[in-house]
Structure 1
Amino acid sequence: GGADTVMILSIIPTFIDHIISAPNITSPEQLRGKIGSVNRFGSISDMGMRLSLKRLGIDPEKDVRIVPAGGNPERLAAISKGISQFTIMNEPFIKEAERLGFRDLVNMATLKIPLHGNGIVTREAIIKAKRPMVTKFARAITEAIHYIKADKDATKTVIGKYTKFTDPEGLERTYKNYTSVLLDVPYADPAGIKTLLDDIAPRNPKAAAADPKSFVDQSFVQEMESSRFIKQLYKK
Protein backbone atom coordinates (compact mmCIF):
# COMPACT_ATOMS: atom_id res chain seq x y z
CA GLY A 1 0.00 0.00 0.00
CA GLY A 2 0.94 3.64 -0.32
CA ALA A 3 1.31 6.43 2.16
CA ASP A 4 0.06 9.98 2.61
CA THR A 5 3.61 11.14 1.76
CA VAL A 6 4.43 11.55 -1.93
CA MET A 7 7.36 12.87 -3.94
CA ILE A 8 6.34 15.44 -6.54
CA LEU A 9 9.75 16.39 -7.98
CA SER A 10 13.13 14.69 -8.21
CA ILE A 11 16.06 17.09 -8.17
CA ILE A 12 19.02 14.69 -7.99
CA PRO A 13 17.87 11.32 -9.38
CA THR A 14 20.97 9.24 -8.66
CA PHE A 15 24.11 9.00 -6.52
CA ILE A 16 26.64 11.74 -7.26
CA ASP A 17 29.44 10.60 -4.95
CA HIS A 18 32.65 9.00 -6.19
CA ILE A 19 34.54 5.95 -4.95
CA ILE A 20 38.02 7.13 -3.95
CA SER A 21 40.79 4.55 -3.52
CA ALA A 22 44.39 4.17 -2.44
CA PRO A 23 46.74 4.99 -5.36
CA ASN A 24 47.74 1.34 -5.91
CA ILE A 25 44.11 0.37 -6.67
CA THR A 26 43.63 1.06 -10.38
CA SER A 27 40.38 -0.80 -11.15
CA PRO A 28 37.17 -1.66 -9.25
CA GLU A 29 38.11 -5.35 -9.47
CA GLN A 30 41.08 -4.63 -7.17
CA LEU A 31 38.72 -3.56 -4.37
CA ARG A 32 38.15 -7.24 -3.53
CA GLY A 33 39.56 -8.12 -0.12
CA LYS A 34 39.92 -4.45 0.83
CA ILE A 35 38.29 -2.31 3.54
CA GLY A 36 35.92 0.46 2.49
CA SER A 37 34.73 3.29 4.73
CA VAL A 38 31.32 4.99 4.79
CA ASN A 39 29.74 7.61 7.04
CA ARG A 40 27.78 5.15 9.18
CA PHE A 41 25.85 1.94 8.62
CA GLY A 42 22.41 2.64 7.17
CA SER A 43 23.44 6.08 5.85
CA ILE A 44 23.03 7.16 2.23
CA SER A 45 26.81 6.76 1.76
CA ASP A 46 26.57 3.17 3.03
CA MET A 47 23.69 2.39 0.67
CA GLY A 48 25.43 4.13 -2.23
CA MET A 49 28.65 2.21 -1.64
CA ARG A 50 26.90 -1.17 -1.44
CA LEU A 51 24.68 -0.62 -4.48
CA SER A 52 27.62 0.70 -6.54
CA LEU A 53 29.80 -2.27 -5.62
CA LYS A 54 26.99 -4.62 -6.71
CA ARG A 55 26.75 -2.78 -10.06
CA LEU A 56 30.51 -3.25 -10.43
CA GLY A 57 30.17 -7.01 -9.84
CA ILE A 58 31.53 -6.96 -6.28
CA ASP A 59 29.55 -8.48 -3.41
CA PRO A 60 29.56 -5.87 -0.61
CA GLU A 61 28.93 -8.56 2.02
CA LYS A 62 31.53 -11.13 0.94
CA ASP A 63 34.16 -9.50 -1.29
CA VAL A 64 34.98 -6.44 0.85
CA ARG A 65 34.64 -5.20 4.43
CA ILE A 66 32.78 -1.96 5.00
CA VAL A 67 33.40 0.09 8.17
CA PRO A 68 31.82 3.31 9.50
CA ALA A 69 34.28 6.23 9.69
CA GLY A 70 32.24 9.47 9.86
CA GLY A 71 31.93 12.44 7.48
CA ASN A 72 34.08 13.34 4.45
CA PRO A 73 37.04 14.74 6.50
CA GLU A 74 37.05 11.67 8.79
CA ARG A 75 36.89 9.29 5.83
CA LEU A 76 39.77 11.12 4.18
CA ALA A 77 41.75 10.71 7.42
CA ALA A 78 40.86 6.98 7.54
CA ILE A 79 42.13 6.35 4.02
CA SER A 80 45.24 8.50 4.69
CA LYS A 81 46.08 6.37 7.75
CA GLY A 82 45.42 3.11 5.89
CA ILE A 83 42.44 2.22 8.11
CA SER A 84 40.49 1.81 4.87
CA GLN A 85 41.68 1.43 1.28
CA PHE A 86 38.66 2.99 -0.40
CA THR A 87 35.83 5.31 0.52
CA ILE A 88 32.97 7.38 -0.88
CA MET A 89 33.18 11.16 -1.31
CA ASN A 90 31.67 14.13 -3.08
CA GLU A 91 33.18 17.37 -4.35
CA PRO A 92 35.17 19.32 -3.34
CA PHE A 93 36.60 16.57 -1.09
CA ILE A 94 37.42 14.52 -4.21
CA LYS A 95 39.81 17.26 -5.31
CA GLU A 96 41.44 17.24 -1.87
CA ALA A 97 41.80 13.44 -2.00
CA GLU A 98 43.44 13.65 -5.45
CA ARG A 99 45.80 16.36 -4.16
CA LEU A 100 46.88 13.90 -1.45
CA GLY A 101 47.57 11.24 -4.09
CA PHE A 102 44.41 9.13 -3.90
CA ARG A 103 42.58 7.89 -6.97
CA ASP A 104 39.16 9.00 -8.22
CA LEU A 105 38.18 5.42 -9.11
CA VAL A 106 34.45 5.52 -9.93
CA ASN A 107 32.01 8.35 -10.57
CA MET A 108 28.86 6.73 -9.18
CA ALA A 109 26.62 8.93 -11.35
CA THR A 110 27.89 6.97 -14.40
CA LEU A 111 26.39 3.78 -12.91
CA LYS A 112 22.94 5.43 -13.21
CA ILE A 113 21.46 3.77 -10.12
CA PRO A 114 17.96 5.23 -9.76
CA LEU A 115 17.65 6.92 -6.38
CA HIS A 116 16.24 10.30 -5.35
CA GLY A 117 19.26 11.86 -3.67
CA ASN A 118 17.27 15.06 -3.42
CA GLY A 119 13.62 15.76 -4.15
CA ILE A 120 10.46 17.53 -3.05
CA VAL A 121 8.12 15.55 -0.82
CA THR A 122 4.72 16.60 0.50
CA ARG A 123 1.50 15.04 1.80
CA GLU A 124 -1.51 14.12 -0.30
CA ALA A 125 -3.70 16.01 2.19
CA ILE A 126 -1.75 19.22 1.49
CA ILE A 127 -2.02 18.68 -2.28
CA LYS A 128 -5.77 18.25 -1.91
CA ALA A 129 -6.23 21.31 0.31
CA LYS A 130 -3.70 23.67 -1.29
CA ARG A 131 -2.98 22.49 -4.82
CA PRO A 132 -2.39 26.02 -6.28
CA MET A 133 0.27 26.67 -3.61
CA VAL A 134 1.99 23.32 -4.29
CA THR A 135 1.86 24.07 -8.04
CA LYS A 136 3.60 27.43 -7.47
CA PHE A 137 6.25 25.75 -5.32
CA ALA A 138 6.88 23.05 -7.96
CA ARG A 139 7.26 25.74 -10.62
CA ALA A 140 9.64 27.75 -8.42
CA ILE A 141 11.90 24.73 -7.85
CA THR A 142 11.85 23.87 -11.58
CA GLU A 143 12.77 27.48 -12.35
CA ALA A 144 15.58 27.31 -9.77
CA ILE A 145 17.00 24.22 -11.52
CA HIS A 146 17.03 26.20 -14.77
CA TYR A 147 18.71 29.16 -13.02
CA ILE A 148 21.45 26.88 -11.63
CA LYS A 149 22.19 25.62 -15.15
CA ALA A 150 21.87 29.00 -16.86
CA ASP A 151 23.91 31.17 -14.47
CA LYS A 152 27.02 29.30 -13.46
CA ASP A 153 28.86 32.20 -11.82
CA ALA A 154 25.95 33.24 -9.59
CA THR A 155 25.37 29.61 -8.60
CA LYS A 156 29.03 29.09 -7.70
CA THR A 157 28.87 32.24 -5.54
CA VAL A 158 25.91 30.74 -3.65
CA ILE A 159 27.70 27.38 -3.27
CA GLY A 160 30.75 29.21 -1.90
CA LYS A 161 28.63 31.22 0.53
CA TYR A 162 26.99 28.19 2.12
CA THR A 163 29.92 25.75 1.99
CA LYS A 164 32.62 28.34 2.85
CA PHE A 165 34.69 27.00 -0.07
CA THR A 166 36.76 29.65 -1.84
CA ASP A 167 38.96 27.55 -4.14
CA PRO A 168 37.86 28.29 -7.76
CA GLU A 169 38.68 24.80 -9.05
CA GLY A 170 36.86 23.14 -6.15
CA LEU A 171 33.78 25.30 -6.78
CA GLU A 172 33.89 24.54 -10.52
CA ARG A 173 34.12 20.81 -9.89
CA THR A 174 31.31 20.93 -7.32
CA TYR A 175 29.12 22.83 -9.80
CA LYS A 176 29.82 20.33 -12.59
CA ASN A 177 29.27 17.33 -10.33
CA TYR A 178 25.78 18.49 -9.36
CA THR A 179 24.60 20.01 -12.65
CA SER A 180 25.60 16.88 -14.59
CA VAL A 181 22.64 15.05 -13.01
CA LEU A 182 20.06 17.83 -12.43
CA LEU A 183 16.89 17.12 -14.41
CA ASP A 184 15.40 19.77 -16.71
CA VAL A 185 12.09 17.91 -16.43
CA PRO A 186 12.17 16.77 -12.79
CA TYR A 187 9.91 13.72 -12.84
CA ALA A 188 9.95 11.65 -9.65
CA ASP A 189 10.62 8.22 -11.15
CA PRO A 190 9.10 5.28 -9.21
CA ALA A 191 12.34 3.36 -9.98
CA GLY A 192 14.16 5.68 -7.55
CA ILE A 193 11.64 4.80 -4.83
CA LYS A 194 11.99 1.08 -5.64
CA THR A 195 15.76 1.26 -4.99
CA LEU A 196 15.01 2.60 -1.52
CA LEU A 197 12.24 0.07 -0.81
CA ASP A 198 14.46 -2.82 -1.95
CA ASP A 199 17.16 -1.63 0.44
CA ILE A 200 14.71 -1.41 3.36
CA ALA A 201 12.85 -4.67 2.53
CA PRO A 202 15.20 -7.10 4.37
CA ARG A 203 14.58 -5.14 7.59
CA ASN A 204 10.93 -4.22 6.98
CA PRO A 205 8.52 -6.63 5.23
CA LYS A 206 6.09 -3.75 4.51
CA ALA A 207 8.67 -2.24 2.14
CA ALA A 208 8.79 -5.46 0.12
CA ALA A 209 5.02 -5.32 -0.41
CA ALA A 210 4.81 -1.57 -1.14
CA ASP A 211 4.13 -0.23 -4.64
CA PRO A 212 6.77 2.39 -5.60
CA LYS A 213 4.21 4.22 -7.78
CA SER A 214 2.08 4.99 -4.71
CA PHE A 215 4.88 7.20 -3.33
CA VAL A 216 5.06 9.57 -6.32
CA ASP A 217 2.71 12.17 -7.82
CA GLN A 218 3.87 13.09 -11.31
CA SER A 219 0.92 15.38 -12.08
CA PHE A 220 2.77 18.61 -11.26
CA VAL A 221 5.58 17.93 -13.73
CA GLN A 222 3.04 16.69 -16.29
CA GLU A 223 1.19 20.02 -15.97
CA MET A 224 4.44 21.97 -16.40
CA GLU A 225 5.20 19.95 -19.53
CA SER A 226 1.75 20.23 -21.09
CA SER A 227 1.60 23.99 -20.43
CA ARG A 228 5.08 24.30 -22.04
CA PHE A 229 6.32 26.01 -18.85
CA ILE A 230 9.60 24.06 -18.90
CA LYS A 231 10.09 24.51 -22.67
CA GLN A 232 9.72 28.29 -22.26
CA LEU A 233 12.32 28.33 -19.46
CA TYR A 234 14.98 26.71 -21.61
CA LYS A 235 14.20 28.92 -24.62
CA LYS A 236 15.36 32.06 -22.81
Structure 2
Amino acid sequence: MIARCRLLMVLFLALAIPRGTHAAEKVIADFGGLSGFQSASWVAKDLKLFEKYGLDADLVMITGGARSVAALLGGSTQFATGSGTAPLIASARGSDVTILAASYNKFPYAFVAKPDIRSPKELRGKRIGILNFGGSNDIALQLALKEWGIKQQEVNVIVGGDAPTRFLSLTVGRVDATILSPPHLTRAVQAGYRVLADMGEMRAKFSQSTLYVRRGYLRENREIVKRFVKAYSEAVHAIKTDRERTLKVFAKRMRLDDAEILNATYDYYAPRFSFPPRVDMAGIKDTLDFYAERNPEVKNRNPLDFVDQTILDELEKEGFFKALGR
Protein backbone atom coordinates (compact mmCIF):
# COMPACT_ATOMS: atom_id res chain seq x y z
CA MET A 1 0.00 0.00 0.00
CA ILE A 2 2.80 2.43 0.94
CA ALA A 3 4.66 1.61 -2.27
CA ARG A 4 1.49 2.17 -4.27
CA CYS A 5 0.91 5.56 -2.61
CA ARG A 6 4.48 6.61 -3.40
CA LEU A 7 4.02 5.59 -7.03
CA LEU A 8 0.78 7.57 -7.27
CA MET A 9 2.50 10.61 -5.73
CA VAL A 10 5.36 10.42 -8.27
CA LEU A 11 2.86 10.15 -11.14
CA PHE A 12 0.87 13.09 -9.76
CA LEU A 13 3.97 15.29 -9.52
CA ALA A 14 5.07 14.29 -13.00
CA LEU A 15 1.70 15.24 -14.45
CA ALA A 16 1.65 18.49 -12.46
CA ILE A 17 4.88 19.74 -14.06
CA PRO A 18 4.07 21.82 -17.17
CA ARG A 19 5.16 20.27 -20.43
CA GLY A 20 8.24 21.85 -21.93
CA THR A 21 9.69 22.76 -18.51
CA HIS A 22 13.41 22.09 -18.38
CA ALA A 23 16.44 23.31 -16.51
CA ALA A 24 18.03 26.46 -17.88
CA GLU A 25 21.13 25.82 -19.96
CA LYS A 26 24.31 26.84 -18.13
CA VAL A 27 26.68 29.08 -20.10
CA ILE A 28 29.56 31.39 -19.26
CA ALA A 29 30.14 34.63 -21.14
CA ASP A 30 32.78 37.29 -20.71
CA PHE A 31 32.64 41.07 -20.91
CA GLY A 32 35.57 43.39 -21.27
CA GLY A 33 34.78 46.16 -18.83
CA LEU A 34 32.24 48.59 -17.46
CA SER A 35 32.10 51.24 -20.16
CA GLY A 36 28.76 51.92 -21.79
CA PHE A 37 29.71 50.39 -25.14
CA GLN A 38 30.41 47.11 -23.30
CA SER A 39 27.00 47.01 -21.66
CA ALA A 40 24.92 44.64 -23.83
CA SER A 41 25.87 41.50 -21.88
CA TRP A 42 25.43 42.93 -18.42
CA VAL A 43 22.19 44.68 -19.34
CA ALA A 44 20.94 41.29 -20.56
CA LYS A 45 22.02 39.78 -17.25
CA ASP A 46 20.54 42.44 -14.98
CA LEU A 47 17.24 42.61 -16.88
CA LYS A 48 16.98 38.79 -16.66
CA LEU A 49 16.87 38.41 -20.42
CA PHE A 50 19.07 35.32 -20.38
CA GLU A 51 16.56 33.68 -18.05
CA LYS A 52 13.75 34.73 -20.38
CA TYR A 53 15.35 32.65 -23.13
CA GLY A 54 16.14 29.63 -20.98
CA LEU A 55 19.77 30.34 -20.16
CA ASP A 56 21.57 30.36 -16.82
CA ALA A 57 24.36 32.73 -17.84
CA ASP A 58 27.29 33.61 -15.62
CA LEU A 59 29.26 36.70 -16.63
CA VAL A 60 32.98 37.09 -15.98
CA MET A 61 35.05 40.18 -16.68
CA ILE A 62 38.10 39.46 -18.83
CA THR A 63 40.02 42.55 -19.90
CA GLY A 64 42.02 42.40 -23.10
CA GLY A 65 41.08 40.73 -26.36
CA ALA A 66 43.90 38.18 -26.31
CA ARG A 67 42.84 36.90 -22.89
CA SER A 68 39.21 36.81 -23.99
CA VAL A 69 40.03 34.67 -27.04
CA ALA A 70 42.28 32.40 -24.95
CA ALA A 71 39.48 31.78 -22.44
CA LEU A 72 37.06 31.01 -25.26
CA LEU A 73 39.40 28.60 -27.03
CA GLY A 74 40.31 26.96 -23.73
CA GLY A 75 36.68 26.26 -22.89
CA SER A 76 36.49 28.57 -19.87
CA THR A 77 33.77 30.56 -21.65
CA GLN A 78 31.27 29.75 -24.36
CA PHE A 79 30.56 33.33 -25.44
CA ALA A 80 32.94 36.27 -25.68
CA THR A 81 32.48 39.97 -26.29
CA GLY A 82 34.92 42.69 -27.22
CA SER A 83 36.28 44.65 -30.13
CA GLY A 84 36.68 42.91 -33.46
CA THR A 85 40.47 43.00 -33.38
CA ALA A 86 41.24 39.91 -31.26
CA PRO A 87 38.80 37.49 -32.92
CA LEU A 88 39.88 38.72 -36.37
CA ILE A 89 43.57 38.15 -35.71
CA ALA A 90 42.92 34.81 -33.98
CA SER A 91 40.77 33.58 -36.85
CA ALA A 92 43.29 34.76 -39.44
CA ARG A 93 45.92 32.67 -37.65
CA GLY A 94 43.75 29.57 -37.84
CA SER A 95 41.81 29.64 -34.57
CA ASP A 96 38.25 28.31 -34.46
CA VAL A 97 36.59 31.71 -33.85
CA THR A 98 33.84 33.58 -35.65
CA ILE A 99 31.99 36.85 -35.01
CA LEU A 100 28.21 36.49 -34.70
CA ALA A 101 26.99 40.02 -34.02
CA ALA A 102 28.08 43.53 -33.14
CA SER A 103 26.19 45.82 -30.80
CA TYR A 104 28.46 48.84 -31.29
CA ASN A 105 29.98 49.64 -34.69
CA LYS A 106 31.63 52.98 -33.95
CA PHE A 107 34.64 54.16 -32.03
CA PRO A 108 33.23 55.09 -28.60
CA TYR A 109 35.91 57.66 -27.94
CA ALA A 110 36.63 61.34 -28.06
CA PHE A 111 40.06 62.88 -28.43
CA VAL A 112 40.59 65.05 -25.35
CA ALA A 113 43.45 67.52 -24.89
CA LYS A 114 44.68 70.23 -22.57
CA PRO A 115 42.76 73.51 -22.98
CA ASP A 116 45.66 75.24 -24.74
CA ILE A 117 45.59 72.71 -27.60
CA ARG A 118 42.91 74.11 -29.89
CA SER A 119 43.08 71.90 -32.98
CA PRO A 120 44.37 68.46 -34.00
CA LYS A 121 47.26 70.07 -35.92
CA GLU A 122 48.64 71.33 -32.60
CA LEU A 123 49.18 67.72 -31.47
CA ARG A 124 52.50 67.56 -33.33
CA GLY A 125 55.27 67.01 -30.80
CA LYS A 126 52.78 66.30 -28.00
CA ARG A 127 52.41 63.24 -25.72
CA ILE A 128 49.29 61.17 -26.37
CA GLY A 129 48.19 58.48 -23.91
CA ILE A 130 46.51 55.26 -25.06
CA LEU A 131 45.56 51.99 -23.36
CA ASN A 132 47.97 49.74 -25.28
CA PHE A 133 49.50 49.14 -28.67
CA GLY A 134 47.46 47.07 -31.11
CA GLY A 135 44.09 47.57 -29.44
CA SER A 136 41.12 49.70 -30.39
CA ASN A 137 42.70 52.78 -28.73
CA ASP A 138 45.72 52.41 -30.97
CA ILE A 139 43.63 51.84 -34.11
CA ALA A 140 41.48 54.88 -33.30
CA LEU A 141 44.59 57.02 -32.80
CA GLN A 142 46.26 55.86 -36.02
CA LEU A 143 43.15 56.40 -38.12
CA ALA A 144 42.56 59.81 -36.54
CA LEU A 145 46.14 60.90 -37.23
CA LYS A 146 45.71 59.74 -40.83
CA GLU A 147 42.54 61.81 -41.25
CA TRP A 148 44.30 64.83 -39.75
CA GLY A 149 47.38 64.46 -41.96
CA ILE A 150 49.71 63.88 -39.01
CA LYS A 151 52.45 61.24 -39.21
CA GLN A 152 52.80 58.87 -36.26
CA GLN A 153 56.42 59.88 -35.75
CA GLU A 154 55.29 63.48 -35.27
CA VAL A 155 53.63 62.61 -31.93
CA ASN A 156 54.81 60.77 -28.83
CA VAL A 157 52.49 57.85 -28.11
CA ILE A 158 52.57 56.70 -24.48
CA VAL A 159 50.97 53.55 -23.06
CA GLY A 160 49.07 55.12 -20.21
CA GLY A 161 46.82 52.42 -18.74
CA ASP A 162 43.06 52.34 -18.42
CA ALA A 163 40.73 55.32 -18.78
CA PRO A 164 40.84 56.50 -15.13
CA THR A 165 44.65 56.33 -15.19
CA ARG A 166 44.88 58.20 -18.50
CA PHE A 167 42.51 60.88 -17.26
CA LEU A 168 44.65 61.29 -14.14
CA SER A 169 47.77 61.53 -16.33
CA LEU A 170 46.08 64.29 -18.31
CA THR A 171 45.18 66.24 -15.17
CA VAL A 172 48.71 66.06 -13.73
CA GLY A 173 50.44 66.82 -17.03
CA ARG A 174 52.03 63.45 -17.82
CA VAL A 175 50.27 63.49 -21.20
CA ASP A 176 48.96 66.33 -23.34
CA ALA A 177 46.04 64.44 -24.84
CA THR A 178 44.31 61.09 -24.60
CA ILE A 179 41.33 59.09 -25.78
CA LEU A 180 38.34 58.90 -23.43
CA SER A 181 34.74 57.76 -23.41
CA PRO A 182 31.95 58.49 -20.92
CA PRO A 183 31.82 58.72 -17.98
CA HIS A 184 35.48 59.85 -17.97
CA LEU A 185 34.88 61.99 -21.05
CA THR A 186 32.09 63.82 -19.21
CA ARG A 187 34.35 64.41 -16.21
CA ALA A 188 37.09 65.75 -18.48
CA VAL A 189 34.70 68.22 -20.12
CA GLN A 190 33.44 69.31 -16.70
CA ALA A 191 37.06 69.93 -15.69
CA GLY A 192 37.65 72.20 -18.69
CA TYR A 193 39.59 69.94 -21.04
CA ARG A 194 39.05 70.37 -24.76
CA VAL A 195 37.39 67.79 -27.01
CA LEU A 196 39.28 67.89 -30.30
CA ALA A 197 37.19 65.29 -32.08
CA ASP A 198 34.40 62.79 -31.58
CA MET A 199 35.98 59.68 -33.03
CA GLY A 200 32.60 58.06 -33.57
CA GLU A 201 32.08 60.60 -36.35
CA MET A 202 35.25 59.69 -38.23
CA ARG A 203 35.01 58.23 -41.73
CA ALA A 204 36.67 54.99 -40.62
CA LYS A 205 34.38 52.30 -39.22
CA PHE A 206 35.18 49.90 -36.40
CA SER A 207 33.41 46.98 -34.71
CA GLN A 208 33.97 48.07 -31.12
CA SER A 209 31.66 45.58 -29.37
CA THR A 210 31.23 42.20 -31.02
CA LEU A 211 29.86 38.84 -29.89
CA TYR A 212 31.97 35.86 -30.91
CA VAL A 213 32.12 32.10 -30.34
CA ARG A 214 34.01 29.03 -31.45
CA ARG A 215 32.74 27.76 -34.78
CA GLY A 216 32.61 24.26 -33.33
CA TYR A 217 30.41 25.42 -30.47
CA LEU A 218 28.06 27.17 -32.90
CA ARG A 219 27.84 24.04 -35.01
CA GLU A 220 27.13 21.73 -32.05
CA ASN A 221 24.96 24.07 -29.93
CA ARG A 222 23.17 26.24 -32.46
CA GLU A 223 19.92 26.49 -30.49
CA ILE A 224 21.75 27.65 -27.35
CA VAL A 225 23.65 30.23 -29.40
CA LYS A 226 20.39 31.43 -30.91
CA ARG A 227 18.88 31.93 -27.45
CA PHE A 228 21.95 33.88 -26.34
CA VAL A 229 21.76 36.10 -29.42
CA LYS A 230 18.08 36.74 -28.65
CA ALA A 231 18.93 37.92 -25.13
CA TYR A 232 21.87 39.97 -26.40
CA SER A 233 19.71 41.59 -29.09
CA GLU A 234 16.87 42.37 -26.70
CA ALA A 235 19.39 43.99 -24.34
CA VAL A 236 20.54 46.26 -27.18
CA HIS A 237 16.93 47.16 -27.90
CA ALA A 238 16.38 47.94 -24.19
CA ILE A 239 19.46 50.17 -24.10
CA LYS A 240 18.16 52.17 -27.05
CA THR A 241 14.52 52.41 -25.95
CA ASP A 242 14.19 51.89 -22.19
CA ARG A 243 16.03 54.77 -20.60
CA GLU A 244 14.78 54.24 -17.06
CA ARG A 245 15.75 50.60 -16.71
CA THR A 246 19.04 51.07 -18.55
CA LEU A 247 20.02 53.98 -16.31
CA LYS A 248 19.49 51.77 -13.26
CA VAL A 249 21.80 49.13 -14.71
CA PHE A 250 24.41 51.74 -15.69
CA ALA A 251 24.30 53.29 -12.22
CA LYS A 252 24.78 49.90 -10.57
CA ARG A 253 27.47 48.53 -12.86
CA MET A 254 29.45 51.75 -13.35
CA ARG A 255 28.91 52.84 -9.73
CA LEU A 256 27.67 56.23 -10.82
CA ASP A 257 25.66 58.34 -8.40
CA ASP A 258 26.10 61.67 -10.20
CA ALA A 259 22.87 62.15 -12.17
CA GLU A 260 24.46 64.54 -14.68
CA ILE A 261 27.28 62.14 -15.54
CA LEU A 262 24.92 59.16 -15.60
CA ASN A 263 22.50 60.83 -18.01
CA ALA A 264 25.31 62.15 -20.20
CA THR A 265 26.77 58.65 -20.38
CA TYR A 266 23.44 57.21 -21.49
CA ASP A 267 22.84 60.01 -24.00
CA TYR A 268 26.25 59.42 -25.56
CA TYR A 269 26.00 55.66 -25.96
CA ALA A 270 22.36 54.69 -26.44
CA PRO A 271 21.78 56.23 -29.91
CA ARG A 272 25.01 54.70 -31.21
CA PHE A 273 24.14 51.08 -30.49
CA SER A 274 23.31 48.98 -33.54
CA PHE A 275 19.89 47.33 -33.62
CA PRO A 276 19.57 44.74 -34.96
CA PRO A 277 23.13 44.04 -33.79
CA ARG A 278 24.56 43.34 -37.23
CA VAL A 279 28.26 43.56 -37.95
CA ASP A 280 29.22 46.56 -40.07
CA MET A 281 31.37 44.81 -42.66
CA ALA A 282 33.04 48.11 -43.54
CA GLY A 283 34.40 48.15 -39.99
CA ILE A 284 35.78 44.64 -40.40
CA LYS A 285 37.45 45.66 -43.67
CA ASP A 286 38.97 48.81 -42.15
CA THR A 287 40.36 46.76 -39.25
CA LEU A 288 41.81 44.12 -41.59
CA ASP A 289 43.38 46.86 -43.73
CA PHE A 290 44.94 48.41 -40.63
CA TYR A 291 46.45 45.12 -39.44
CA ALA A 292 47.56 44.00 -42.90
CA GLU A 293 50.57 46.31 -42.62
CA ARG A 294 51.83 44.39 -39.56
CA ASN A 295 50.24 40.95 -39.96
CA PRO A 296 50.66 39.38 -43.41
CA GLU A 297 48.14 36.65 -42.55
CA VAL A 298 45.27 39.15 -42.82
CA LYS A 299 46.43 40.75 -46.06
CA ASN A 300 43.86 40.52 -48.88
CA ARG A 301 41.47 38.49 -46.73
CA ASN A 302 37.73 38.63 -47.36
CA PRO A 303 35.88 40.17 -44.37
CA LEU A 304 33.12 37.58 -44.83
CA ASP A 305 35.61 34.85 -43.82
CA PHE A 306 35.50 36.12 -40.24
CA VAL A 307 31.78 36.68 -39.68
CA ASP A 308 28.79 34.35 -39.42
CA GLN A 309 25.50 36.26 -39.22
CA THR A 310 23.24 33.31 -40.05
CA ILE A 311 21.67 33.40 -36.57
CA LEU A 312 20.77 37.05 -37.11
CA ASP A 313 19.43 36.16 -40.56
CA GLU A 314 17.17 33.52 -39.00
CA LEU A 315 15.87 35.93 -36.37
CA GLU A 316 15.23 38.57 -39.02
CA LYS A 317 13.29 36.09 -41.13
CA GLU A 318 11.26 34.98 -38.10
CA GLY A 319 10.28 38.57 -37.31
CA PHE A 320 12.08 38.62 -33.96
CA PHE A 321 13.47 42.14 -34.30
CA LYS A 322 10.21 43.60 -35.56
CA ALA A 323 8.38 42.03 -32.62
CA LEU A 324 10.72 43.74 -30.14
CA GLY A 325 9.93 47.08 -31.74
CA ARG A 326 6.17 46.78 -31.26
Q: What TM-score does the superposition give when structure 1 sets the normalisation length?
A: 0.91
Aligned to 2:134: 42
**Change over 3 Å in CA distance of 1:132–1:204 after alignment to 2:** same
**Equivalence for 1:202:** 293
Provide, for residues 61-90 of structure 1, a one-character-per-residue CA deviation record: whole Å limited to 9, x for no partner. Answer: 133221111122221222223322111011
- Residue 99 of structure 2 contacts residue 308 of structure 2 at CA under 8 Å; is this kept in 1? yes
Please give the alpha-carbon distance, in whole angstroms, between the structure 2 residues aligned to 1:83 and 1:4.
41
Q: Of residues 124, 143, 146 in structure 2, which corresponds to 1:54?
A: 146
Amino acid at match of 2:119: S
Listed as ranges, the matches of 1:177-192 within 5 Å are 177-192=268-283
Residue number in structure 2 paired with 1:8 = 100
Identity, in percent, stands at: 32
In the alignment, the residues of structure 1 paired with residue 209 and residue 169 of structure 2 have an alpha-carbon distance, to the nearest angstrom, of 27
Q: Is the 8 A contact 2:186 2:265 kept in 1?
A: no
Which sections of structure 2, spanning at least 5 residues, go unmatched?
1-91
Q: Show the counterpart of 1:119.
A: 210
| Aligned mates of 1:129, 1:73 — CA distance in 2 | 41
Q: Which moved more, 1:196-205 or 1:123-132?
A: 196-205
**Residue of structure 1 in register with 2:81 after alignment:** none
* Distance (whole Å) between structure 2 residues aligned to residue 208 and residue 227 of structure 1: 37
| Residue 306 (structure 2) aligns with | 215
State whether residues 37 and 66 of structure 1, in contact with CA within 8 Å, keep that contact through their aligned partners in structure 2: yes
CA distance in 2, matches of 1:112, 1:203: 22
Matching residue of 1:95? 186
Give distance in 1, aligned partners of 2:313 and 2:150: 38
Distance 1:158 1:23 in 2: 33
**Residue 112 of structure 1, CA deviation:** 4.7
Residue in 2 that maps onto 1:27: 119
- Shift of residue 125 of structure 1? 1.6
- Compute the displacement of 1:152 (Å): 0.7
Distance 2:216 2:160 in 1: 40
| Matched ranges for 1:146-165 at <5 A | 146-165=237-256
Instruction: Look up the equivalent residue of 1:62 and give its one-letter code.
Output: Q
Corresponding residue for 1:18?
110
SS in 2 for 1:62: helix
Q: C-alpha displacement at 1:38, in angstroms?
A: 0.9
8 Å CA contact 1:39–1:45 kept in 2: the answer is yes
Superposed CA offset, 1:117-176 (max 9, x none) = 111101222222122221121111111111112211111111111111111111111112
- Unmatched 5+ stretches in structure 1: none
RMSD (Å) for aligned C-alpha atoms: 1.9
Are the aligned partners of 1:17 and 1:88 in contact in 2 as well (CA < 8 Å)? yes
Q: For the pair shown, which has the larger CA radius of gyration, 1 or 2?
A: 2
Aligned equivalents of 2:166 and 2:238: distance in 1? Answer: 33
| Deviates further, 92-101 or 8-17 | 92-101
Greater than 6 Å deviation, 4+ residue runs = none
Count of residues paired in the alignment: 234
Q: Distance in 1 between matches of 2:170 and 2:223?
A: 50
* Worse-matched range after superposition: 73-82 or 92-101: 73-82
CA distance in 2, matches of 1:219, 1:73: 38
> TM-score scaled to structure 2, two decimals?
0.67
Higher relative contact order (CA 8 A, sep 6+): 1
- Residues 40, 46 of structure 1: 8 Å contact kept: yes
Give SS of 1:26's match. coil
